Amino acid sequence: MVKRRVTLGILLLLLAGLVVGIVPAISAKVTDVILATTTSTVDTGLLDLLIPKFEAQTGYKVKPIGVGTGQALAMGEKGEADVLLTHAPASEKPLLDKGLVTDYKLVMHNDFVIVGPADDPAKIKGTRVAADAFRKIAAAGALFVSRGDDSGTHKTEKSLWQKANLKPGGSWYQESGSGMGQTLLIASEKRGYTLTDRGTYLAQKKNIKLDILVEGDKDLLNIYHVMAVNPAKFAKVNAAGARAFVEFMVSPEIQKLIGEFGKDKYGSPLFFPDAGRSEDELGK
């Protein structure tokens, strides 16, 4: 009896010691850089490759917060992040115009694709113009699964509906309210169409039964910019760390890495590096 009690006591003490061991590491450091970014850079594994290199080169510690582009921009707007990596140029411009962000730089692009079940009930396969494909889906009343979360992908989707002069709604249009990976799974289970970035689609491909049906339209370009939150507006941002991250993302060495990322696994790169180019040059 006594022996058992001693054993339990020792175990408890050990566990308590283990628990308290985290105390020195629990709070933030001045070298922390908060990066608010879209889920696609996290879910494809790109940041897992780049961030350790940045940390080794500069000594900063990056905290990537993977949220939708809408939320990432909102965090930047309130000074709650130091640097942003997002993919919705039309929504990024107002922040730039208001001077809330600086060092706005083009990093890379890839493309969105419209995916759906192989039997393609709305017969959109091969359609050249994305907005036309959307029109066909709506006309057929075929199930479309939207992100519905104000992410960069959702913003692009909304602009395509607008271009098609349609207001989607009704039982054929469902909002998943979750990330791209989850949304693809839902669309696959329900045999619906969805708009996705190519990277997340390739990463999820083995789990889903969806084919790429429409691709290559200029409206489907997915453009990523990096930008620092303006320290002149928000005194609490880590300005030096943010600038270092912007410079890092557009440096030749990292641009080369971005261009090679995913080639070994998917046969083609997931992102195309664009530093130094202008947005208008893309898709030509």
Partner 1 sequence: MGVIGEGMAEALKMLATGDPEVWDITLRTFQISGLATLISVLLGVPFGVFLALKRFPGRGVLASLVNFGMGLPPVIVGLATWLCFTRYGPLGSLGLLYTPAAMITAQAVIAFPLVAGFTMAAIQSLNPKLRLQIIALGANRWQFLWLLLREARLGLLAAVIAGFGGVISEVGASMMVGGNVKGLTRVLTTAIALEVSKGRFELATALSVILLVLSFLVTALLTALQQHRRQPQ
Chain residues binding partner 1 by CB under 8 A are 1, 4-5, 8, 11-12, 15-16, 18-23, 25-28, 32, 34, 39, 42-45, 48, 51, 61, 63-66, 78-80, 179-182, 203-207, 234, 236
Q: What minimum distance in Å lies between the beta carbon of 9 and partner 1?
A: 9
Task: Considering the complex, state which of residue 66 and residue 89 has its C-beta at the smaller distance from partner 1.
Answer: 66
CB of 219 to partner 1, least distance (A): 26
Q: Whose CA is closest to 259, among 273, 246, 249?
A: 273
Nearest approach, Cβ of residue 63 and partner 1 (Å):
5
Nearer to partner 1, 81 or 227 (CB): 81
Q: Where are the extended beta strands (E) located within the chain?
A: 32-37, 61-66, 83-86, 101-116, 144-146, 173-175, 194-197, 211-214, 221-229, 272-273
Packed helices 252-260 and 46-58: angle between N→C axes, nearest 10 degrees: 160
Burial of 225 (0-12, 13-18, 19+ CB in 10 A): buried
CB of 100 to partner 1, least distance (A): 13
Closer Cβ to partner 1, 163 or 205, answer by number: 205
Residues paired with 273 in a beta bridge? 108
Least distance CB 24 / partner 1 (angstroms):
10
Q: Which of 276, 273, 234 is nearest to 101 (CA)?
A: 234
Nearer to partner 1, 93 or 236 (CB): 236
Q: Which is nearer to partner 1, 81 or 246 (CB)?
A: 81
DSSP state of 1: -
Q: Based on CB atoms, which residue is closest to partner 1, 5 or 284? A: 5
Q: Which is nearer to partner 1, 71 or 127 (CB)?
A: 71
In sign, the C-alpha dihedral spanning 186, 191, 195, 197 is positive
Cβ closer to partner 1: 23 or 56?
Answer: 23
What is the DSSP-derived secondary structure letter of residue 28?
Answer: -
Q: Report the C-alpha gap between 205 and 199 in whole angstroms.
A: 10
Which is it for the CA torsion 118, 119, 122, 128, positive or negative? positive
DSSP category for residue 193:
B
Phi, psi of 138 (to 5 degrees): -65, -45
DSSP 8-class letter at 280: G
Instruction: Tell the smallest beta-carbon distance from residue 133 to partner 1 (Å).
Output: 25
Q: How far is the CB of 203 from partner 1 (least distance, A)?
A: 5
| Minimum distance, C-beta of residue 196 to partner 1, in the bound complex (Å) | 12
